[in-house]
Amino acid sequence: MDQATKPVARVNGVDLHAPGEDVAPDELRQRACTELMRQAAMRDGFLQAGDPAPVGGAISQAAADAIDAWMETALKVPEPSEEACRRHHAATASRWRTGERARLRHILFAVTPGVDVAALRQRAEACLLDVRCHDGRGSEAFVQAARELSNCPTGAEGGELGWVTPADCAPEMSRELFGRAEIGVLPRLVHSRFGFHVVEVMEREAGIDRPFDEVRGAVVLSLKQQAWVTALRQLLQVLAGEASIEGVALDEAATPLVQ
C-alpha cells in the first residue's frame, strides 16, 4: 500500500502521525503508549483538557509533566521483602561479582536499517560453524573471518576486544558472556542491540562474589525496577483494552516503553 493512502493510526480518535508519514512499528507503538497515558492523565485531572495533541510524536511539556505525576499515583510498586531480595541475589550472583573480566574477540554482523535480518543471521551462523570447526587449531581462522566479515572496527585487528568487564558491555551481552566458565569460541551467537556476535573467550578471571549485605540496596532497587516495569506493562494493557485503537497493534511483548 502506498504511504499516502495508508490509514492513519489513532488512539481514541487522536492521530499518531500525519497522513503519509512513514513511522517504524516500534516508534508507532511508543507514540500509542504515550498517547494512552496522556489521555489518562487528562481524564484523571493531571492535565488540562485543552492540551494540544502530539505533533510528530512530540507531546507538550505540560503533558510530559502530567504523565510523570499521573504515573506516581497510578503505579503501585510494593517494597520487596527481605526473602525476595535474598532469592534475587542468589539467582543473579554474577551480577554482583566484582573484578570479573574476560579477554575477548568477536565478529559482528550488524543489524542496520533495511537489512534482511534472517539472511544476516544465516551468515552469522555459517561463520560461527566455520570458526568453531577450527577452534583449538590456532587463531588464524577467527582472525581472518573477523577481518573479512566483521562490521566492527575491531575487525582490522582480528576482532580483538582485549580485557572486558561486565560494565563494558551492553547488558544483553554481559548476561551471555559473564558468570560462566566457557573458554574458546562460544557455541551460540550472542545477540545484542548491535546485531549478532560470534565471540571467542580467550581468558577469564573469575572475580569475587559480593555478599548480600554489601549489595542489599542495589538488589532492592533492581527488584523495584522489575516490579515497576511489570506494573507499567499491566497498566498499559488495561488502558489499551479500554481505548479505541486503530492502525497499531499493542501487546505485552512489543510495548517499547516497558522493554
Report DSSP letters for 191-253, one per residue. EETTEEEEEEEEEEE--EEPPHHHHHHHHHHHHHHHHHHHHHHHHHHHHHHHS-EES----GG
Same domain? 19 vs 73? yes
Same domain? 183 vs 109? yes
Same domain? 59 vs 132? no
**Residue 212 maps to a domain:** no
Is 131:106 a contact under the CB 8 Å cutoff?
Answer: no
Same domain? 55 vs 106? no
**Residue 161 maps to a domain:** yes
Same domain? 119 vs 189? yes
Same domain? 242 vs 194? no
Report pLDDT for 105.
Answer: 95
Q: Which of 79, 73, 77, 81 is nearest to 228 (CA)?
A: 77
Our count of domains for the chain comes to 2
Report pLDDT for 5.
Answer: 57
Last residue of a domain, one of 179, 206, 233: 206
Helices within 75-211 (DSSP H only): 82-91, 117-134, 140-149, 171-177
Q: Return the SS3 of 24.
A: coil
Report pLDDT for 14.
Answer: 93
Same domain? 145 vs 193? yes
Which residues lie across from 98 on neighbouring strands?
Answer: 208
Domain limits for position 114: 100-206
DSSP state of 146: H
**Residue 50 maps to a domain:** yes
Q: Can you give the pTM of this predicted structure?
A: 0.59
Same domain? 182 vs 252? no
Report pLDDT for 175.
Answer: 87
**Residue 85 maps to a domain:** no
The list of the chain residues with pLDDT below 50 reads 1-4, 137-138, 252-259
**Nine cell digits for residue 258:** 516497558
Same domain? 69 vs 109? no
**Residue 152 maps to a domain:** yes
Report pLDDT for 254.
Answer: 40
**Residue 52 maps to a domain:** yes
Same domain? 137 vs 49? no
Last residue of a domain, one of 162, 183, 206: 206
**Residue 166 maps to a domain:** yes
Same domain? 154 vs 228? no
Taking the C-alpha atoms of residue 59 and residue 71, their distance in angstroms, rounded to an integer, is 16
Report pLDDT for 153.
Answer: 94
Same domain? 71 vs 125? no
Report pLDDT for 135.
Answer: 55
**Residue 93 maps to a domain:** no
Is 103:202 a contact under the CB 8 Å cutoff?
Answer: yes
Alpha carbon distances (Å) from 213 to 86, 140, 217, 225: 9, 46, 9, 19
CATH of the domain at 142: 3.10.50.40
Alpha carbon distances (Å) from 133 to 54, 95, 144, 248: 54, 32, 14, 45
